[in-house]
Amino acid sequence: MNKIKITFPSGKELQLPRGTTAFEFLNDFEKTAQPILAVAVNNEIFSLGQPILYNACVEPIYANSKYGAAVYRRSLCFLLAAAAHNLFPQSHLLVGHSLGYGYYYTLDTGRRIRQEEIDGLKKEMANIVGKDRKIETTTVSYHDAVELFTKLKLTETCKQLDCISPPYVRMNTLGDFSDMFFGPLVFSTGFLKYFDLMPYGEGFLLRFPTTGKPQEIPSFRDIPTLFSIYKRYKEWGKQIGVTSAASLNELIKNRKINDFININETFQTKCIADIADQIHERSHVKVILIAGPSSSGKTTTSKKLALQLQAIGYHPQLISLDSFYVGRDKNPKDKDGNYDYECLEALDIPLLNGLLNDLFSGREVNMPMYDFTAGKRFYDGTKMQISDNDVLIIEGIHGLNDKLTPLINPDLKFKIYLSALTQLNLDDHNRISTSDNRLIRRIVRDAQFRGKSAAETIFMWDNVQRGEKLHIFPFQGNADAMLNTALDYELSVLKIFAEPLLRAVKPHQKEYSEASRLLGFLSNFSPIPPTDVPDRSIIREFIGGSAFHY
């Protein structure tokens, strides 16, 4: 059979030669104002230049879509690495975390990048874009890949190949520069017209468009406290010699992982203890508000912070915001007519603030409860009263928003923002997404404790992230302290639970593309048995077996 059938979203079918690429039938898609950056082939994301070898339903991936934005950003990173290779062959750029619709880069030499070097990189990138050069994706033998990456002095990439030892290696190539394939890129550099480089810290930010507006670079909003937390962890990673998945895999291979696990846990506990000390220094604090995106470990962090506070003489008490829902009859609905439990208006703000003020005045209060089945508030006789050494801990998505507690004296509040900012990269040029880390945590937890499949969790993840962008991220700058809840060994543990769940997603399901991508991502990590995880670790919130009660 030398022909394959290609079926378009409109129902149109074409018989084409086996090995045809999507670039060859781009004009058969319906015309829109947005460029097509890739295609979904039976719900798996393909680059436009990737041969299609079997009958397939194909869908366009537009620049203003979630997957289109991912392809564009990944391609920009590759373009920058190629430009840096051309200009600085004796040194390498190191990619860091995301910040303000951009990725932070530094030089491996450790010195500050000069403005003229940043200008030179930007000019070189623009030159490559103007030439519209095709990005080739090829497959080579393990031996040839090691030889090539050794020649390019990509140390972490070589270490990773040594650990995972694949029989063949896919790579992307532009001129004499090549890098490991971690996902489809744009067909050619001419697609990458919108970007900017701006100096920041010791390096610079590679800035890119938002998902909804792929032809615009948004204004930059700095969050220096978040950057300082990331920088602290990055420096810590360098000190202990583990900065990539490759370095982690080496520890596992050499049976040195248990010490690293203990160091991770000890360092995170120290950071929580530091926050407890900050609270103690602010002697008037009576309520601690903890917020963070989904699966950032808010519950375990609250419990660990409570222990640290007890160790220095406080008596922490927990208040759940779930008890303060207004009730289904008053709850706002979203644009689809579903109850919106994430908006601030879903909470009874006057009731919460009145109760807190009564507690701070020394009065005993009746604590509300909420029946999620009936959608109503009720009281079961639970009472609360606080003394001088008592401090309240409230965790929830609106904790950093001052509209949650407008009647509470700011001097009484201490706000903490959590984020899972792993300092690891995959290799020399490819970063680990904070969102991916949290999504894998969520997939494992939902399966362990809520009976949800990976497909169900992936399906609702876009709505979760939409809520985070509305209700959490805009208020990060209000935090008095920030805590990184990522543990650099956790993906090696989570993969044992996540991989079977992701493999259960079928190719005919829309969620297959994301499941397939996450499986490829997790393949970069050697496994660590869950028995090696301490019983008070934040990872236990997701895999089970915690010493804490949830």
- Alpha-carbon torsion 55, 59, 63, 68, what sign? negative
Q: Is 469 exposed, middle or buried (0-12, 13-18, 19+ CB in 10 A)?
A: exposed
Q: Please report the beta strands in 26-87, taking only residues with DSSP state E, as ranges in sequence order.
A: 36-41, 44-47, 51-52, 56-62
Residue 229 vs residue 40, higher pLDDT? 40
Residue 163, pLDDT > 90, answer no
Q: Is 102 exposed, middle or buried (0-12, 13-18, 19+ CB in 10 A)?
A: buried
CA distance from start to end of the chain = 57
The answer to whether residues 79 and 128 touch, using CB atoms and an 8 Å cutoff, is yes
Angle (CA) 434 440 444, round 5°? 150
Question: What's the distance, CA 439 to chain centroid?
Answer: 7
Question: What's the distance, CA 86 to chain centroid?
Answer: 30
Amino acid identity for residue 356 in this structure: L
List all residues 6 or more positions away from 409 whose beta carbon is below 8 Å from its beta carbon.
none
Task: Give which of 474, 342, 458 is closest to 402, Cα–Cα.
Answer: 474
Task: Give which of 20, 81, 16 is closest to 49, Cα–Cα.
Answer: 20
Which of 63-67, 86-90, 178-182, 318-322 has the highest mean predicted lDDT (pLDDT)?
63-67
Band (pLDDT 50/70/90 cuts) for residue 159 is: confident
Percent of the chain with pLDDT over 90: 74
Query: Residue with structure tokens 């303000």?
Result: 100
Percent of the chain with pLDDT over 70: 100
The CB density around residue 132, as the number of other CB atoms within 10 Å, is 12
Query: Residue with structure tokens 């876009």?
Result: 462
Q: Which of 136-150, 174-188, 325-339 has the lowest mean pLDDT?
A: 325-339
pLDDT at 427: 81
Amino acid identity for residue 354 in this structure: G
Residue 121 vs residue 425, higher pLDDT? 121
C-alpha–C-alpha distance, residues 356 and 348, integer Å: 13
- Alpha-carbon torsion 484, 487, 493, 499, what sign? positive
Residues paired with 21 in a beta bridge: 51
- Quick one: average pLDDT of 181-201? 95
Question: What's the distance, CA 366 to chain centroid?
Answer: 39
Question: What's the distance, CA 206 to chain centroid?
Answer: 17
Task: Give which of 124, 140, 99 is closest to 189, Cα–Cα.
Answer: 124
Q: Is 367 exposed, middle or buried (0-12, 13-18, 19+ CB in 10 A)?
A: middle
Query: Residue with structure tokens 């409570």?
Result: 306
Indicate the SS3 state at residue 507.
coil
Residue 438, pLDDT > 70, answer yes
Q: Is 398 exposed, middle or buried (0-12, 13-18, 19+ CB in 10 A)?
A: buried
Task: For 505-538, write each residue's pLDDT tens digit.
Answer: 999 999 999 999 999 999 999 999 999 999 999 9
Task: For 133-153, write each residue's pLDDT tens digit.
Answer: 999 999 999 999 999 889 888
Mean pLDDT of the chain: 93
Band (pLDDT 50/70/90 cuts) for residue 550 is: confident
pLDDT at 511: 96
Here the tokens at position 269 are 């506990």
Here the tokens at position 393 are 């801990």
- pTM to 2 decimal places: 0.91
Alpha carbon distances (Å) from 126 to 40, 79, 115, 122, 511: 29, 10, 17, 6, 35
List all residues 6 or more positions away from 239 whose beta carbon is below 8 Å from its beta carbon.
none
DSSP letters along 380-437, please? Answer: EEEEE---TTEEEEEESTTTT-TTSSTTS-GGGEEEEEEE-----BSSSS-BPPHHHH
pLDDT at 212: 87
Alpha carbon distances (Å) from 343 to 104, 325, 457: 31, 11, 20
Band (pLDDT 50/70/90 cuts) for residue 267 is: very high
- Quick one: average pLDDT of 303-315? 96
Here the tokens at position 25 are 């039938």
Task: Give which of 372, 388, 289 is closest to 331, Cα–Cα.
Answer: 372
The answer to whether residues 8 and 1 touch, using CB atoms and an 8 Å cutoff, is no
Band (pLDDT 50/70/90 cuts) for residue 108 is: confident
pLDDT at 541: 96
The answer to whether residues 434 and 99 touch, using CB atoms and an 8 Å cutoff, is no
Residue 429, pLDDT > 80, answer no
The CB density around residue 385, as the number of other CB atoms within 10 Å, is 12
The answer to whether residues 404 and 328 touch, using CB atoms and an 8 Å cutoff, is no
Alpha carbon distances (Å) from 32 to 24, 25, 29, 63, 345: 17, 15, 9, 11, 38
The answer to whether residues 78 and 133 touch, using CB atoms and an 8 Å cutoff, is no
C-alpha–C-alpha distance, residues 69 and 210, integer Å: 8
pLDDT at 1: 62
Residue 15, pLDDT > 80, answer yes
C-alpha–C-alpha distance, residues 120 and 82, integer Å: 13
Query: Residue with structure tokens 């798996």?
Result: 44
Task: Give which of 185, 170, 162 is closest to 81, Cα–Cα.
Answer: 185
